[in-house]
């Protein structure tokens, strides 16, 4: 059941990467089952049992194509394709709600109860952030740091970290109380966090 006492959430789709493993193409604009990957992410955010009040896209190329999806688009405030943390920083700078939910543009099957389960853990553990964990190909359950629910008060910490040259997402999240939320129950989709880094992976995911 949706948590009616939850504070407002802003959704952030991370589409700011180079797409280097996909031949330099803009991953979020690649088609999956007839629609751009970023549109799948946007629709799944809107379908969440605890849906964001607003959704933003973080992109560094083809901004008008992303804007055509009907939500605000913001490029990194750090130069040089600095990775997911640059997207987190952009989202926290632009977020007007107490919480920011981040998802990547290349995982079109992420759970529809992602926001609710992350919020429940965040609240129960009084954590600074909550992060999904999922079973990977080797059978191990590992953190999926780009699927994260952040308190927007973390902005100052992230500004300091990035200004000192920090770019590794794990190094920054380790500085804070992070609730880890496993999505490994029998009823959870084993492919929910599968991402398409290459065109071959995208085609494989599409065929499943």
What is the tens place of the pLDDT at every residue in 128-185? Answer: 999 999 988 788 889 999 999 999 999 999 999 999 999 899 999 999 999 999 999 9
Residue 70 lies in a domain: yes
The predicted pLDDT at position 109 comes to 94
CA distances from 173 to 76, 82, 126, 192 (A): 19, 16, 15, 22
pLDDT digits (tens, 9 = 90+) for 62-117: 999 999 999 999 999 888 767 899 999 999 999 999 999 999 999 999 999 999 99
Q: What is the pTM of this model?
A: 0.93
pLDDT digits (tens, 9 = 90+) for 41-68: 999 999 999 999 999 999 999 999 999 9
The residues, ordered by sequence, that sit 6+ positions from 34 with a Cβ below 8 Å of its Cβ are: none
Residue 153 lies in a domain: yes
Contact 39, 83 (CB under 8 A): no
Contact 103, 109 (CB under 8 A): no
- Taking each continuous run of H as one helix and of E as one strand, the counts in the chain are 7, 9
How many structural domains are present in the chain? 1
Residue 2 lies in a domain: no
Tell me how crowded residue 145 is: count the other CB atoms within 10 A of its CB.
Answer: 21
The predicted pLDDT at position 19 comes to 59
The predicted pLDDT at position 62 comes to 95
Q: Report the alpha-carbon distance of residue 24 to residue 102 in Å, rounded.
A: 23
Residue 155 lies in a domain: yes
| Mean local confidence (pLDDT), 4-16 | 89
Residue 61 lies in a domain: yes
Q: Report the alpha-carbon distance of residue 38 to residue 28 in Å, rounded.
A: 5
Residue 28 lies in a domain: yes
Per the structure, the complete domain to which residue 70 belongs is given by: 9-207
Residue 181 lies in a domain: yes
Residue 36 lies in a domain: yes
Write out the two tokens for 68. 């055509």
The predicted pLDDT at position 2 comes to 47
- CATH code of 33's domain: 3.90.550.10
Write out the two tokens for 179. 């609730």
């Amino acid at each position: 059941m949706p948590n009616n006492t939850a504070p407002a959430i802003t959704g952030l789709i991370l589409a700011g990467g180079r797409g280097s493993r996909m031949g330099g193409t803009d991953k979020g604009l690649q088609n999956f089952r007839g629609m751009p990957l970023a549109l799948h992410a946007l629709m799944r955010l809107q379908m969440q049992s605890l849906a964001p009040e607003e959704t933003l896209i973080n992109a560094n190329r083809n901004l008008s194509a992303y804007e055509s999806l009907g939500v605000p688009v913001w490029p990194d405030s750090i130069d040089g394709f600095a990775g997911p943390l640059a997207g987190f920083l952009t989202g926290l700078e632009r977020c007007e709600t107490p919480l920011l939910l981040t998802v990547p543009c290349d995982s079109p099957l992420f759970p529809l109860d992602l926001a609710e389960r992350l919020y429940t853990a965040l609240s129960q553990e009084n954590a600074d952030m909550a992060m999904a964990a999922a079973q990977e190909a080797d059978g191990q359950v590992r953190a999926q740091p780009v699927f994260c629910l952040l308190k927007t008060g973390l902005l100052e910490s992230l500004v300091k970290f990035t200004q000192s040259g920090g770019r590794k997402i794990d190094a920054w999240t380790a500085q804070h109380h992070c609730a880890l939320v496993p999505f490994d129950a029998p009823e959870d989709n084993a492919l929910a966090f599968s991402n398409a880094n290459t065109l071959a992976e995208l085609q494989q995911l599409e065929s499943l």
